[in-house]
Structures are given as C-alpha cells and as structure tokens.
Structure 1
Amino acid sequence: MDQHDRAGRPDSAEGPAERVTGGLAVADRQPPRWRRRISTTLDLIRANPTGRITLKIFIAIAGAIVVTVGVALIPLPGPGWLLVIAGLGIWAVEFHWARRLLTFTRRHVHNWTQWVTRQSLLVRVVLGAVGLIFVAVVLWLSLKYSLGIDVVARIMRYLATH
C-alpha cells in the first residue's frame, strides 16, 4: 500500500513530516504558534500607516539599545557579542539590511564553529588560548585607558613587595 501525506506526495523514509530535497531531509512543518501570532500582530500593525511608522521607530530604538549595550560589553567577559546579534535580530524584524547582515553573521559563525569542531584537540586548545589572551588584553586596555586602572602594573608591584 502506497503511503501519501496530506498534499498527495509520497511519504519519505523519514516520515510524513519530512521530505527529501537535494539529498537532504527538510522539515515540512509550520512555524510555531507563537511565531505565527507575532507575524499576524506585526502585519496588523503594518496595515495602518501610523502603526507602520511607529513600529519602525520602536524597532529602531529597541535594536539600537540592545546593540549599544552589547558593544559596550564586548571587551568584558560575558554576552557582548550575543547581545549585538540579538539587537541585529530585533532590527531584522523591520529592516532588510539587518536581515541580510544577520544571515551573513549566522552563516559565518556556523561555518567557523563547524571548522573548529573538525580540528584536533591541540588546535582547539590553541584557538581557545588565543581567544582568552585576546579577551585579557582587551579587558586590560579597557581598564587602563577608560578607568585609569593598570592591572598589570599593580600585579607587578604586588609581586615585587611579596
């Protein structure tokens, strides 16, 4: 007996919720309910010229705040880059250039992650050490030139006295 999905297409080996395209299984499901609600709400807001302008202004300001906080946190250990990307995601709701930049960023982060995971343990340790040294230098320079605190000089003085 031949199995078919609701659209009359044959079911693939992966099951009725997936189809094979170009040798890759692609999910054939709808976006989550919360995403459909947000999309519908945004479409209703955009239907009104005043709502469209208000939405653009709100998205621009909200995205700018998140990106600004993220950029301020980049030199510090923590979620600086994550906030910058989140701010881009906010802007991408309303601005095409942000959507393209977010797609570009996601693609390159994914490619970088895939490349790193294929490397040997030694290469990954070296990359991690270089990353930690970079963060330490940026943190040291930020403290030295923005707050006037020279951590290295203080440590050297402490070591000389003890």
Structure 2
Amino acid sequence: MTERDWAWRRRLRADPRSHAVYRAVVGAVGLVIVVVGLILVPFPGPGWLIVFLGVLVWATEFAWAQRLHGWGMGHLRRWNDWLLRQPVWVRAAVGLATAAFVGLVVLTTMAFTGVPAWLPDPVERVLVDLLP
C-alpha cells in the first residue's frame, strides 16, 4: 500500500473527535467479531480464525491488540513449525485426533439440535439410532 492509501486515516486522526469515534467503531466491530468467534469455537468451523480476525481488526487501531495478535501468530507459527518437523505418523495422529474431536462435537451438537433432515436417509437413520 502506498502512503496515499492511508491519507483518510491521517485525516481522521488529525481531528480528535473523529478519531475517538473511529476508535470506538473499530473497538465495537472487533468486539462483535471476537464474541461471534468465541461462540463458534466449540463448533466445527473457523471459530478461532474468526477470533483472530477480530483481534486483527482491533490491531489496526490499538497497540495492545497488535501485541496480542503478534503473540498469537507466534504461537501458531511455532506449533506449525514443530508439527512439520515431526514424523508422518505424529502428523497423522494429530490429524486423526483433530478429526475425532470435530466428529464428537458434531455428534454432540446433533444430540441437542437433532439430526439434519438434509442428510441421506440411511445416514439419518443410523444417527437417529445412535444418538439419545
């Protein structure tokens, strides 16, 4: 990005009132994104990714969020680097454990909400018999 791309932010920051409103909006938008992500964390899907996106929104305006985002990304990089150094069987075990956890979460969700009607009938019958 060029310096011209951020001219609008410099104009906002030049006026204390508009800067305060902008920071409040960034804070509120980031909070909504983080809360939605945290609600989605136990379910299959991108819960943590949404939380990181919310922190990234905050990091555009708040120094503490920049540090938090850097800390989280550092841990993610270290985990990824560690996992890539492991033998194939360890990576496979981590993948299987992750798949088992996601499957357990899906089954638990279906136990509370019911089996979706859009599933093929044989799969739906097995799940209805399996779930309490």
Distance 1:37 1:65 in 2: 29
Query: How big is the shift at 1:45?
Result: 0.5
8 Å Cα contact 2:34-2:51 kept in structure 1: yes
Q: Which amino acid letter does the alignment assign opposite residue 56 of structure 1?
A: R
**Paired residues of 1:75 and 1:139 also in contact (CA < 8 A):** no
TM-score by length of 1: 0.65
Q: 1:128, CA displacement in angstroms? A: 0.6
Aligned residues: 122
Contact 1:75–1:138, Cα closer than 8 Å, also in 2: yes
- Partners of 1:62 and 1:69 lie apart in 2 by 11
CA distance in 2, matches of 1:38, 1:112: 35
Partner of 1:68 in structure 2? 35
User: Alpha-carbon deviation of 1:89?
Assistant: 0.4
Cα deviation for residue 130 of structure 1 reads: 0.9
Pairwise mapping of residues 61-100 of structure 1 onto structure 2 (< 5 A)? 61-100=28-67
Paired residue secondary structure (2:61): coil
Task: Give the aligned residue type for 1:66.
Answer: I
Is the partner of 1:106 in helix, strand or coil?
helix
Q: Assess if the C-alpha contact under 8 Å between 1:144 and 1:150 holds in 2.
A: yes
- Is it true that 1:52 corresponds to 2:16 in the alignment? no
Structure with greater contact order relative to length (CA < 8 Å, sep ≥ 6): 2
Distance in 1, matches of 2:87 and 2:4, equals 45
Q: TM-score, normalised by structure 2?
A: 0.78
Cα distance in 1 for residues equivalent to 2:11 and 2:107? 49
Following TM superposition, by how much is the alpha carbon of 1:118 offset from its aligned partner in structure 2, in angstroms?
A: 0.8
5+ unaligned residues in a row in structure 2: which ranges? 117-125
Give the C-alpha shift of residue 143 in structure 1.
4.2
Alignment partners' CA distance in 2, 1:125 and 1:86: 28
Change (3 A) 1:77 1:61: same
For residue 100 of structure 1, report the CA deviation from its aligned partner: 0.9
CA contact (8 A) 1:70 1:84 kept: yes
Q: CA RMSD in A?
A: 2.5
Q: Which has the larger radius of gyration?
A: 1
Instruction: Give, in whole Å, the separation in 2 of the partners of 1:120 and 1:45.
Output: 52
5+ residue gaps, structure 1, are: 1-31
Question: How far is 1:59 from its partner?
Answer: 0.1
